[in-house]
């Protein structure tokens, strides 16, 4: 807070200084223009000089000085165009030369230099043959301004106003106008201006008290573009040839950068060089540039420089038309050696920097040398080794280093779009290890996500092994895994990804497919309670799916055995869900699903498998399911499954159904007993057994069970529930009656109808009562509608 306040008062003060200065500038500019209009050139220059004297101030910070500078330069532009107009009309060579001399009488250097530049520009425009000489003169004379801020702005002005005048004619060819200069003159001019500006910029760092260091660094950053403009100008020269760049321009820039020993300047200028000059130039001077990188100050974030260069060149090379550049220049070797050397030489390099250097290298390897997996692999190996050397582990993925690490791990995944290819980078998983548990899981998760997004089919054990090697941390408990890891959303998401992965297993051969599934099952089975709950069910479904595809033996003599093996495998897997996974409902469902699937496949032992599966399901029901609601629905599922099965012999069928009825009659609530028994009754009606064709249609058994149900219903104390059950029973009876169960007599129906009708009247009015009544009315209506079919019944009921 305090710092803010200080800054505030400071800016108020600055505004005041600026305002005063601008006022003078305005006033003198006005006088200057008036004198110009009256053709009093000397007076105009005098006013311009007073105006320019405002730029001698030492009171303003760079930001405010810049504003003042802009105002002054505007006025100078006016002066320049006015003088150009006038002198063009006069057509006298001496007048401009005299004017150029005249402004040099200014007693102070700042106004003098600005005026010299302004008049010099007019001079150059009028007499192009003087360009080379004048440019040299101006840049040399500017040496007199040694004050960093004032010098930087002066030289910036020089650079700005001469922008369109810089000679750019090819070297060695006499220019059209002798003396108008060639690109050589411009290079010399900018080289000098650049090195002088950089010196001033660096010197700025050493001015004032050391406690204001940060402020000064901030101010310097604001001014860097002034220095950088020199390099931009150089890069814009049409006739700056690669040769000149290589032999002269770059060496002199590098010399300046290295020798200034200023981290801010070094880092900025190196990046600047990378950004402004052409890729071809960079390629040609790679070694020189990199050699200089080594000589930079320790404080320079050299990795930024290197990364910028690598990124730039990898982009260029990967887009290059003739990609033989890659062969010509051992880009990868050069850069990786550089990076390694850099890391070795800077023991205090932050982890994130080490990692991001590798990121750039991986990008280069992956983007430009996609076919050379060894390159990318080397980088991961070196990254792993470097991190090992630094003894870093358990990196948080949200830390700087962690983010970088995740980034580098993503590069080949995103670029290859083929996880199997990533898996060929054998050292890749090692680079994951320094991350903490969550970080590794995240990395594995995006690998899986990529696998799924690209629908990469897994066709062999090798494929599975490859993928598993990349997602190790998702498959089993990890030493550094937090206790409650399974509670997180991420954990669930990651398991879903694994589940999705299972569906990518697509072997060409069915046997192999089973082998793969079984193999993966074993791996996943070791995942512990929380994982297998989600990962094993899809395996089981995949096995069922595979089994269904295996309906025909296709001449395979081992067919029976193979199908059986699948079910054994599925059964064992379900068993694991119960024992290790501590699940009930789902295994029960899976058993039943298995029974149905097995029933559809006509292999020799299918009846045995079906019996086993259903009995297992019943065991689960008996042993594991205590909650009555769950039991109810589970029993319904079992019942339905048995209904769908037709391969069981009576000797196997009977015990199962008996068990269902027993389970139904053991239901805790009377109402539940009634309902389960009702549905069990249908087993004897609609169920099928192996020996006989068609449904059993055992009316005696049906009525027996229904009667039993009715007895139980009668024991029900609550009138509402009882009524509900009786209506249900009525429906059941009528259903079987309608379906041709002759054992059911119309008497029974009529008794049920009258009973329910009577009870309906007795019920106290309530919402539930209404619903039940409605149900009853619908049932009766249905009976009425069908009365014509059953005259006997109609008569009995008198409807």
Size of the site for another protein (CB under 8 A): 28
Q: Considering beta carbons, is residue 162 or 359 the nearer one to another protein?
A: 162
Size (the chain), residues: 799
Taking CB under 8 A as the binding criterion, the range among 98-106, 161-169, 274-282, 337-345 that sits at the site for another protein is 98-106
Residue found under tokens 């990364």? 307
- Contact between 100 and another protein per CB under 8 A: yes
Q: What is the largest CA-CA distance in the chain?
A: 138
Nearer to another protein, 30 or 105 (CB): 105
Work out whether 47 is an interface residue with another protein (CB under 8 A).
no
Based on the shown chain and the rule CB under 8 A, indicate whether residue 188 belongs to the binding site for another protein.
no
Residue 259 touches another protein, criterion: CB under 8 A? no
Taking CB under 8 A as the rule, does residue 255 contact another protein? no
> Does position 56 bind another protein by CB under 8 A?
yes
Determine contact, residues 445/494, Cβ cutoff 8 Å. Answer: yes
Q: Binding residue for another protein (CB under 8 A) from 22, 50, 84, 97? A: 97
Q: In this structure, are residues 224 and 271 in contact, taking their beta carbons and an 8 Å threshold?
A: no
Segment 544-563, which members bind another protein (CB under 8 A)?
none
| Residue 203 near another protein by CB under 8 A | yes
Q: Does 134 bind another protein (CB under 8 A)?
A: yes
- The sign of the dihedral angle between the CA atoms of 773, 776, 782, 788 is negative
Distance of CA 243 to the CA centre of its chain: 43
Whole-number CA gyration radius for the chain: 45
Q: With respect to another protein, which residue has the nearer C-beta, 88 or 101?
A: 101
- Residue 404 has, within 13 A of its CA and on its CB side, a CA count of 22
Give the 3-state secondary structure of residue 505: strand
* Angstrom distance (rounded) from CA 151 to CA 143: 8
Rounded distance, CA 614 to CA 690, Å? 16
Q: Assign 395 to helix, strand or coil.
A: strand
734: burial class by Cβ within 10 Å (0-12, 13-18, 19+)? Answer: buried
Q: Which of 37, 88, 93, 98 binds another protein (CB under 8 A)?
A: 98
Q: What is the C-alpha separation between 66 and 225, in angstroms, rounded?
A: 12
Taking the least distance from each CB to another protein, the nearer of 97 and 334 is 97
DSSP-derived letter for residue 476 is S
Select the residue interacting with another protein from 10, 20, 74, 108 (CB under 8 A).
108
Residue with Cβ nearer another protein (112 or 421): 112
**In this chain, which stretch among 103-111, 531-539, 561-569, 736-744 interacts with another protein, using CB under 8 A?**
103-111
Q: CB under 8 A: which stretch of 102-110, 352-360, 365-373, 665-673 binds another protein?
A: 102-110
93 binds another protein (CB under 8 A): no
Smallest separation (angstroms) from another protein to the CB of 416: 54
Coil, helix or strand at residue 435: strand
Asked if 194 touches another protein (CB under 8 A), the answer is no
Nearer to another protein, 137 or 168 (CB): 137
Give the one residue of 31, 43, 86, 133 binding another protein; rule: CB under 8 A: 133
Q: Is 65 in the site for another protein (CB under 8 A)?
A: no
What is the nearest approach in angstroms of another protein to the Cβ of residue 151?
7
The mark string for 753-782 relative to another protein (x by CB under 8 A, - otherwise) is ------------------------------
Q: How far is the CB of 442 from another protein (least distance, A)?
A: 53
* CB 516, CB 461: distance < 8 Å: yes
- The distance of closest approach from Cβ of residue 102 to another protein in the complex, given in angstroms and rounded to an integer, is 8
Binding status of residue 107 toward another protein by CB under 8 A: yes
From residue 634, give the alpha-carbon distance in Å to each of 375, 532, 577, 658, 666. 58, 22, 17, 16, 14
Q: Is residue 110 close enough to count as binding another protein by CB under 8 A? A: yes
Indicate the helix (H) or strand (E) that contains 502: helix 489-502
The DSSP annotation for 557-578 comes to TTHHHHHHHHHHHHHHHHHHHH
Q: How far is CA 204 from CA 224, 227, 261, in A?
A: 11, 13, 13
Contact residue for another protein among 90, 101, 389, 509 (CB under 8 A): 101
Contact between residue 434 and residue 487 where contact means Cβ atoms under 8 Å apart:
no
Q: Restricting to residues 279-338, which ones interact with another protein according to CB under 8 A?
A: none
Using the rule CB under 8 A, is 50 a contact of another protein?
no
Site string (140-159) toward another protein, x via CB under 8 A? xx-xxxxxx-xx--------
Choose which of 137, 472, 622, 739 interacts with another protein (CB under 8 A).
137
User: What's the Cα-to-Cα distance from 595 to each of 169, 607, 633, 695, 755, rounded to whole Å?
Assistant: 89, 9, 18, 19, 41
Does 105 help bind another protein (rule: CB under 8 A)? yes
Q: Find residue 435's DSSP bridge partners.
A: 395
Q: Judge whether 242 and 280 are in contact, CB under 8 Å.
A: yes
For the CB of residue 209, give the shortest distance to another protein in the complex, in Å: 13
Residues that bind another protein (CB under 8 A): 56, 94, 97-98, 100-101, 104-105, 107-110, 112, 133-134, 137, 140-141, 143-148, 150-151, 199, 203
């Amino acid at each position: 807070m305090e710092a803010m306040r200080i800054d505030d008062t400071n800016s108020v003060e600055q505004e005041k200084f600026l305002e005063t200065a601008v006022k003078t500038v305005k006033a003198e500019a006005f006088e200057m223009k008036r004198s110009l209009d009256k053709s009093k050139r000397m007076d105009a220059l005098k006013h311009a000089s007073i105006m320019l004297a405002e730029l001698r101030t030492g009171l303003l910070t760079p930001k405010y000085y810049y504003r003042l500078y802009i105002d002054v330069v505007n006025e100078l532009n006016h002066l320049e165009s006015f003088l150009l107009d006038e002198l063009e009309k006069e057509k006298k060579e001496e007048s401009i030369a005299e004017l150029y001399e005249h402004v040099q009488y200014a007693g102070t250097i700042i106004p003098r230099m600005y005026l010299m530049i302004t008049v010099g520009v007019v001079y150059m425009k009028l007499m192009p043959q003087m360009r080379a000489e004048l440019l040299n003169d101006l840049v040399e004379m500017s040496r007199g301004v040694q004050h960093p801020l004032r010098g930087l702005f002066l030289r910036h002005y020089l650079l700005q106003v001469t922008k369109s005048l810089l000679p750019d004619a090819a070297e060695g060819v006499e220019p059209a106008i002798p003396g108008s200069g060639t690109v050589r003159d411009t290079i010399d001019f900018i080289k000098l201006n650049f090195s002088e500006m950089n010196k001033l910029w660096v010197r700025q760092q050493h001015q004032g008290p050391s406690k204001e260091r940060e402020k000064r660094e901030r101010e310097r950053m604001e001014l860097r573009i002034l220095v950088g403009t020199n390099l931009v100008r150089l890069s814009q020269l049409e006739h700056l040839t690669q040769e000149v760049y290589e032999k002269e321009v770059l060496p002199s820039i590098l010399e300046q950068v290295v020798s200034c020993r200023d981290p801010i300047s070094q880092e900025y200028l190196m990046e600047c060089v990378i950004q402004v000059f052409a890729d071809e130039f960079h390629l040609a001077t790679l070694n020189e540039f990199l050699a200089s990188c080594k000589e930079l100050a320790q404080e320079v974030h050299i990795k930024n420089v290197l990364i910028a260069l690598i990124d730039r060149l990898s982009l260029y090379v990967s887009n290059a038309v003739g990609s033989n550049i890659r062969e010509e220049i051992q880009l990868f070797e050069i850069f990786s050696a550089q990076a390694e050397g850099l890391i070795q030489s800077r023991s205090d390099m932050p982890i994130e920097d080490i990692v991001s250097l590798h990121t750039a290298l991986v990008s280069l390897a992956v983007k430009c040398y996609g076919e050379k997996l060894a390159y990318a692999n080397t980088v991961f190996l070196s990254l792993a080794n470097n991190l090992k050397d630094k003894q870093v582990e358990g990196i948080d993925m949200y830390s700087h280093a962690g983010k970088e690490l995740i980034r580098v791990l993503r590069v080949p995944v995103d670029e290859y779009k083929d996880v199997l290819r990533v898996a060929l980078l054998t050292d890749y998983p090692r680079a994951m290890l320094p991350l903490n548990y969550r970080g590794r899981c995240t990395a594995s998760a995006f690998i899986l996500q990529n696998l799924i997004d690209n629908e990469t089919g897994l066709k062999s054990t090798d494929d599975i092994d490859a993928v598993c090697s990349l997602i190790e941390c998702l498959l089993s408990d990890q030493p550094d895994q937090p206790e409650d890891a399974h509670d997180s959303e991420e954990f669930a998401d990651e398991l879903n990804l694994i589940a999705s992965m299972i569906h990518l297993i697509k072997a060409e051969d069915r046997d192999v497919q089973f082998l793969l599934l079984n193999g993966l099952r074993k791996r996943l089975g070791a995942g512990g309670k929380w994982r297998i709950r989600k990962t094993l069910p899809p395996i089981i479904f995949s096995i069922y799916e595979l089994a269904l595809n295996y309906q025909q033996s296709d001449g395979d003599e081992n067919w029976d055995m193979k199908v059986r093996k699948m079910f054994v495998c599925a059964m064992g897997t379900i068993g694991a869900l119960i024992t290790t996974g501590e699940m009930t409902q789902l295994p029960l469902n899976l058993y039943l699903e298995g029974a149905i699937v097995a029933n559809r496949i006509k292999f020799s032992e299918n009846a045995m498998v079906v019996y086993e599966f259903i009995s297992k399901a019943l065991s689960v029901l008996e042993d594991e399911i205590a909650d009555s609601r769950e039991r109810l629905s589970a029993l319904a599922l079992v019942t339905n499954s048995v209904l769908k099965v037709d391969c069981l012999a009576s000797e196997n069928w009977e015990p199962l159904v008996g068990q269902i009825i027993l389970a139904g009659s053991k239901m805790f609530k009377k109402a539940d007993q009634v309902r389960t028994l009702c549905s069990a009754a249908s087993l004897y009606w609609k169920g099928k057994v192996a020996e006989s064709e068609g449904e059993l249609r055992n009316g005696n058994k049906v009525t027996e069970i229904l009667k039993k149900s009715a007895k139980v219903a009668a024991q029900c104390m609550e009138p509402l529930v009882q009524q509900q059950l009786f209506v249900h029973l009525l429906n059941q009876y009528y259903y079987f009656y309608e379906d041709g169960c002759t054992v059911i007599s119309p008497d029974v129906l009529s008794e049920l109808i009258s009973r329910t009708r009577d009870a309906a009247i007795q019920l106290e009015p309530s919402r539930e009562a209404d619903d039940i009544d409605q149900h009853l009315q619908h049932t009766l209506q249905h009976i009425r509608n069908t009365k014509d079919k059953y005259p006997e019944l109609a008569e009995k009921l008198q409807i």
